[in-house]
């Protein structure tokens, strides 16, 4: 009987240890590319300092990571800025929240045909990201450059139908963000997020138009509502907001990633 009791207690202890190990694992969604490499540094720090396992799951689009977070397949994701998150929440009714901030990844307008914005011809074909807010982000840059006039230049979700004046008759193509580097040879100019520009060999220094460091589009770590203060989430944010992570981002993005948690 004593042996059975000891054996039962041992099995119970093992079960508790397994359960604890499972609760000490965070499933983190990222978009495939350099942002994943940055997150890998944070994951290493989380393991070393907090014994927290960060399982990174890569995606190739901007929609699925939020769907996976909302349905519980992920514990957190890190790939989007607040205007995009809010647009997804409004559109799909997700209960998502901000746990912390990562980097500003400026968007730029690139061309394989022209070396300056002044060379862009009338009637040029311009590719825009078709996801909520990033399309408006691109159009606001064009408005600020005097290329078009928007009805409301503060509307972060503007689309081409919100253009009040288009004196140079630009033609717009709305393309999934991940596909924009592929269509660049077929258009006169394309607005490409740095998430996809850098892996395609595009440097922000070569962009005809680009955001400055004052950009409000700071990327963030998103979680389900109520998880913001969960211990594992706070430790993950802590592990991310470190100098080693900044150094990795600098190495990969060559100055085109600005820490969004430092005032």
Closest CA to 249 of 134, 104, 125: 104
Cα(254)–Cα(257) distance, integer angstroms: 8
Does this model's pTM top 0.85? My answer is no
Residue 6 pLDDT greater than 80, yes or no: no
Residues 165-221: pLDDT tens digits?
A: 999 999 999 999 999 999 999 999 999 988 889 889 998 889 999 887 667 789 999
Half-sphere exposure (Cβ direction) of 196: Cα atoms closer than 13 Å: 24
The pLDDT-based confidence of 247 (bands split at 50, 70, 90) is very high
Cα(18)–Cα(202) distance, integer angstroms: 45
Nearby residues of 253 by Cβ (< 8 Å), 6 or more positions away? 34, 103, 105, 194, 198
Task: Answer whether 77's CB lies under 8 Å from 29's CB.
Answer: yes
Q: Is 185 helix (H, G, I), strand (E, B) or coil?
A: helix
DSSP 204: G
């Amino acid at each position: 009987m004593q042996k059975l009791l000891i054996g039962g207690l041992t099995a119970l202890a093992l079960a508790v240890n397994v359960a604890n190990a499972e609760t000490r694992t965070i499933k983190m969604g990222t978009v495939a590319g350099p942002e994943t490499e940055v997150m890998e540094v944070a994951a290493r720090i989380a393991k070393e300092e907090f014994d927290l396992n960060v399982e990174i799951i890569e995606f190739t689009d901007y929609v699925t990571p939020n769907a996976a977070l909302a349905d519980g397949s992920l514990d957190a994701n890190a790939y989007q800025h607040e205007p995009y998150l809010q647009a997804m929440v409004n559109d799909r009714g997700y209960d998502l929240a901000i746990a912390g901030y990562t980097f500003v990844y400026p968007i730029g307008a690139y061309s394989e045909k022209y070396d300056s914005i002044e060379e862009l011809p009338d009637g040029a074909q311009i590719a825009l990201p078709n996801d909520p807010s990033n399309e408006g982000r691109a159009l606001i840059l064009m408005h600020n450059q005097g290329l078009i006039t928007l009805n409301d230049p503060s509307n972060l979700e503007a689309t081409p139908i919100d253009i009040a004046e288009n004196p140079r008759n630009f033609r717009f193509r709305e393309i999934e963000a991940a596909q924009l580097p592929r269509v660049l040879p077929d258009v006169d100019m394309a607005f490409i997020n740095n998430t996809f520009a850098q892996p395609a060999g595009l440097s922000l220094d070569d962009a005809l138009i680009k955001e400055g460091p004052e950009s409000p589009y700071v990327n963030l770590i998103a979680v389900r509502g109520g998880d913001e203060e969960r211990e594992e989430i706070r430790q993950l944010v802590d592990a991310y907001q470190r100098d080693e992570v900044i150094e990795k981002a600098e190495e990969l993005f060559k100055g085109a990633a600005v820490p969004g948690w430092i005032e």
